[in-house]
A and B are shown apart, each in its own frame.
Chain A
């Protein structure tokens, strides 16, 4: 009789469960959509093991002379690539190729990285960088993340205002931060205005030979050139750069270079300059083709701008350039189109140092001055063309609309951002999504390591209202960075066999030591887990020389296997190189110390890595 109770209650429970689970479809669909867009901050930056970041971040390493590679959005540090400073971790500056590239310099100040471009978009082939410390420029191959060439730039001192490449990587321009006399000769600072110049170099890169070359130089006035950008699309033949110290002060620049209400943006047509050089409109000085603007007229113009500007950035559509006032403090939007028109009509307000000054009012679109936003330095863009400007003094990022000047959003950062970088944010097609503030002051952000602090990079989600969602410490010092979509970079894992390389030894029985007078050439092999220097010797892993011999060790890693790197170091000889899988690397030195010196593999390679050793024996002179 009571059997109906469990049956009925069971049915009822079933209906209730079914109703809860399946009823009201519209509502549950909404919930699903909502949940996918409301990922927590932790979920947004979490890249689980087995998955990889969407973007690479290439951050300048400042006075470390290195480049830091991070993943975005995880903000994980993946690699440090040495560029202008030696690095024993990779043998950079020790092996022959990199030693020659570095010359006698033991440090560099890597400021502004720039990707090679095709049609104004990153092509993922090369990364260029400049050294403000010792006036150099470098080209890094993105197949191997190694530096292929470094060029010393004469007549110039500190290419801070670089690197920036034209939209098909025809040229990389290196304007200087410090004015010096031509040839860096001695000249009295009393003759600064007459004898000093702010030389800009137009550098080409031969992608077949991996070679940087100076095409021509321009002897600009002795001002400081700060930042720059190349035009895009309709302004592709043009480039812009900011100046300060148009006062031509020679001491206490803090005060003396901050007096004039207006400095300049230099606007130049690089195609016209190329043509002028082709037509012989240049002087040959110190072996360079030098354009002197007061003498070789054309192609270069000045645009007055609020005082001591820092960044100047071209909008993704190539129609405008935006100067950040630093001390003004405001952002000024200029029109390329109006500038071209003014040049056409010779709508000039006089000239400075023989260079025409374009009428400010004719080409200025708007001055943008968000309330209490102080120290605007540098602007990046998102996929909708909105501008993001770093405010150094008020420690924030301000999002604004270049078309209206309207402030759209602001977010504080910790603290004092110099540059910021958005995902492909200086190309013709920025990705939006992410912006990273490159902060100069980390202060209380991380566990203390004493008085010397790291800098800080903060990841900002810009897909909606700006929000700082991750913060990463970084070694000094990220001046500028570039973010590239990960799938644009195609690396190799193993160096291919090069049968034409006479220094390479791929077969074990061909490992040999050849003596030629007091030169000793070792054609050796590094493999898991031994060195073979002389296949026929009683002890194939021993190199024996006489004191004073010049020793060349050409070492080939014959493990053509991913991530099997070998190192090679000789104890007490201050030497260490790496050979990547398949690579042949040469180290050259004089055996000036007699004695017995163990040698060993420095890069852990296998279970028997510890056994991968040998001896370097140097017989003393009688």
Chain B
């Protein structure tokens, strides 16, 4: 028997992480809600790994006043392949559960960290691009701005609120699940 093999419980925990990763595909990952006096109900941009939802057209219609580029799925090529990467990650997670090798798990955790970091970087990049690349001929001139990844921001009459969606929470939960075997099967 190889001592390095992860326990069955750990394997199950990792399997559960794989399930959560797949599940995250069906839920929004990130959401920005726009509130204004005229929109007390809020306008939404809801980001799924493969699509945008919410009142995108209305937000775009309003954003053109400050010269912001349109949000659209074409502007986010990531949406075309992100779900395949997620499925790949889920497959690797499942493979880790089957192999039950600690080294593989380390690799997987590393992959999660890199992937998550890239995701955060990509979203920040997008927010910076939209907020700072304002048309010089816009009817209403405002200073360039970068909406935060999470939390409030105020632009003109709009207050935006950025929040994580269920999908993101599933991914975080999956990541935490992956850490559990490290502690559980630690070498005594």
Residues of the B chain whose Cβ atoms lie less than 8 Å from the Cβ of A559: 58, 61
Is A373 located at the chain interface by the 8 A CB criterion?
no
Kindly state the separation between the CA atoms of A611 and B65 in the bound complex, as whole angstroms. Answer: 13
Interface set, chain B 43-78, CB cutoff 8 A to A = 55, 57-58, 61-62, 65
Is B139 located at the chain interface by the 8 A CB criterion?
yes
Residues of the A chain whose Cβ atoms lie less than 8 Å from the Cβ of B57: 558, 560
How many chain A residues sit at the interface, stated as a range, is under 10
Q: Is the CB of B61 within 8 A of A528?
A: yes
Q: Is the CB of A561 within 8 A of B58?
A: yes
Is A1 located at the chain interface by the 8 A CB criterion?
no
Kindly state the separation between the CA atoms of A607 and B38 in the bound complex, as whole angstroms. Answer: 12
Q: Is the CB of A608 within 8 A of B58?
A: no
Q: Is the CB of B65 within 8 A of A560?
A: no
Residues of the B chain whose Cβ atoms lie less than 8 Å from the Cβ of A607: 65
Interface set, chain A 556-577, CB cutoff 8 A to B = 558-561
Q: Is the CB of A608 within 8 A of B139?
A: yes
Q: Is the CB of B65 within 8 A of A527?
A: no
Residues of the B chain whose Cβ atoms lie less than 8 Å from the Cβ of A608: 65, 139
Q: How far is the CB of A116 from chain B (nearest CB, A)?
A: 31
Q: How far is the CB of B111 from chain A (nearest CB, A)?
A: 41
Kindly state the separation between the CA atoms of A179 and B58 in the bound complex, as whole angstroms. Answer: 56
Interface set, chain B 129-152, CB cutoff 8 A to A = 139
Chain A minimum-CB-distance residue to B62? A528
Q: How far is the CB of B60 from chain A (nearest CB, A)?
A: 10
Kindly state the separation between the CA atoms of A611 and B55 in the bound complex, as whole angstroms. Answer: 25
Chain B minimum-CB-distance residue to A561? B58
Q: Is the CB of A527 within 8 A of B61?
A: yes
Kindly state the separation between the CA atoms of A582 and B139 in the bound complex, as whole angstroms. Answer: 24
Chain B binding surface SS class: helix
Residues of the B chain whose Cβ atoms lie less than 8 Å from the Cβ of A558: 57
Q: How far is the CB of A535 from chain B (nearest CB, A)?
A: 15
Chain A minimum-CB-distance residue to B64? A528
Kindly state the separation between the CA atoms of A560 and B56 in the bound complex, as whole angstroms. Answer: 10
Kindly state the separation between the CA atoms of A559 and B61 in the bound complex, as whole angstroms. Answer: 8
Chain B minimum-CB-distance residue to A606? B65
Q: Which has the most chain B C-beta neighbours within 10 Å: A559, A561, A611?
A: A561
Residues of the A chain whose Cβ atoms lie less than 8 Å from the Cβ of B61: 527-528, 559, 561
Interface set, chain B 80-136, CB cutoff 8 A to A = none
Chain B minimum-CB-distance residue to A530? B64
Kindly state the separation between the CA atoms of A255 and B84 in the bound complex, as whole angstroms. Answer: 89
Q: How far is the CB of A27 from chain B (nearest CB, A)?
A: 43
Kindly state the separation between the CA atoms of A527 and B62 in the bound complex, as whole angstroms. Answer: 10
Kindly state the separation between the CA atoms of A560 and B61 in the bound complex, as whole angstroms. Answer: 10
Residues of the A chain whose Cβ atoms lie less than 8 Å from the Cβ of B139: 608, 611
Kindly state the separation between the CA atoms of A152 and B139 in the bound complex, as whole angstroms. Answer: 50
Interface set, chain A 501-555, CB cutoff 8 A to B = 527-528
Residues of the A chain whose Cβ atoms lie less than 8 Å from the Cβ of B62: 528
Chain B minimum-CB-distance residue to A581? B58
Kindly state the separation between the CA atoms of A381 and B62 in the bound complex, as whole angstroms. Answer: 51
Q: How far is the CB of B18 from chain A (nearest CB, A)?
A: 39
Residues of the B chain whose Cβ atoms lie less than 8 Å from the Cβ of A527: 61
Q: How far is the CB of B172 from chain A (nearest CB, A)?
A: 34
Kindly state the separation between the CA atoms of A207 and B62 in the bound complex, as whole angstroms. Answer: 37
Interface set, chain A 598-612, CB cutoff 8 A to B = 607-608, 611
Chain A minimum-CB-distance residue to B43? A561
Q: How far is the CB of A317 from chain B (nearest CB, A)?
A: 44
Kindly state the separation between the CA atoms of A528 and B64 in the bound complex, as whole angstroms. Answer: 9
Chain B minimum-CB-distance residue to A611? B139
Kindly state the separation between the CA atoms of A528 and B62 in the bound complex, as whole angstroms. Answer: 8
Kindly state the separation between the CA atoms of A559 and B58 in the bound complex, as whole angstroms. Answer: 7
Kindly state the separation between the CA atoms of A448 and B57 in the bound complex, as whole angstroms. Answer: 49
Interface string of B3-40 (1 = CB under 8 A from A): 00000000000000000000000000000000000000
Residues of the A chain whose Cβ atoms lie less than 8 Å from the Cβ of B65: 528, 607-608
Kindly state the separation between the CA atoms of A607 and B156 in the bound complex, as whole angstroms. Answer: 13
Chain B minimum-CB-distance residue to A560? B57
Q: How far is the CB of B65 from chain A (nearest CB, A)?
A: 7
Chain B minimum-CB-distance residue to A506? B57
Q: How far is the CB of B167 from chain A (nearest CB, A)?
A: 26
Kindly state the separation between the CA atoms of A558 and B55 in the bound complex, as whole angstroms. Answer: 13
Kindly state the separation between the CA atoms of A526 and B65 in the bound complex, as whole angstroms. Answer: 15
Residues of the B chain whose Cβ atoms lie less than 8 Å from the Cβ of A560: 57-58
Kindly state the separation between the CA atoms of A347 and B57 in the bound complex, as whole angstroms. Answer: 71
Residues of the A chain whose Cβ atoms lie less than 8 Å from the Cβ of B58: 559-561
Besides the contacts A561-B55, A561-B58, what 10 more A-B pairs have beta carbons closer than 8 Å? A527-B61, A528-B61, A528-B62, A559-B58, A559-B61, A560-B57, A560-B58, A607-B65, A608-B65, A608-B139
Which residues of B does A touch, CB under 8 Å? 55, 57-58, 61-62, 65, 139
10 contacts between A and B (CB under 8 A): A527-B61, A528-B61, A528-B65, A558-B57, A559-B58, A559-B61, A561-B55, A607-B65, A608-B139, A611-B139
- For the complex of A and B, list the 6 residue pairs with the smallest distance between their C-beta atoms, beginning with the closest: A561-B58, A528-B61, A608-B139, A560-B57, A559-B61, A527-B61
